[in-house]
């Protein structure tokens, strides 16, 4: 994977996480209602997770801007993606998980898979 594609990958992931975070932060109740997902007992749970996505989106933008210098941030993004995929997969298998959360898990799994070769390639690029 070339530096160009690594930059592109992390720019796309940054936009993805940033926009999803802002969408759930600004429109969480409407999104839950539109997809027939029961509301949490407190919207602060969703707002915190939304702001975490915005924060990680900013981190992915930093990786896109300077992949070699910010290679050390990629494992944190990998842990984010694995965490979400793991939680969603568990509840998808063990209980009745609303559809709203499933597509994000599939996309995050793909992102994790793409992060691995990017991380490895950047190790070769280090000065």
DSSP 37: P
Residue 125 confidence class, pLDDT cut points 50, 70, 90: confident
d(CA 119, CA 71): 7
Tokens standing for residue 37: 């997902």
Q: What is the pLDDT of residue 32?
A: 92
pLDDT, tens digit, 9 for 90 and up, residues 66-120: 999 999 999 999 999 999 999 999 999 999 899 999 999 999 999 999 999 999 9
Q: Classify the C-alpha dihedral 31-53-67-102 as positive or negative.
A: negative
| Per-chain mean pLDDT for the chain | 94
How far is the CA of 111 from the CAs of 62, 64, 119, in angstroms? 16, 14, 12
Report pTM. Answer: 0.89
Phi, psi torsion values for 12, nearest 5 degrees = -65, -45
Closest CA to 119 of 65, 75, 66, 62: 75
């Amino acid at each position: 994977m070339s530096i160009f594609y690594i930059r592109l990958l992390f720019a796309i992931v940054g936009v993805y996480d940033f926009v999803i975070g802002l969408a759930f932060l600004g429109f969480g109740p409407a999104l839950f209602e539109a997809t027939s997902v029961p509301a949490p007992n407190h919207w602060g749970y969703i707002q915190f997770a939304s702001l975490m996505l915005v924060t990680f989106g900013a981190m992915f933008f930093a990786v896109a801007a300077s992949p070699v210098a910010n290679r050390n941030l990629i494992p944190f993004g990998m842990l984010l993606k694995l965490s979400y995929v793991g939680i969603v997969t568990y509840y998808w298998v063990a209980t009745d998980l609303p559809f709203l959360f499933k597509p994000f898990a599939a996309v995050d799994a793909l992102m994790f898979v793409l992060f691995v070769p990017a991380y490895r390639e950047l190790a070769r690029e280090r000065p």
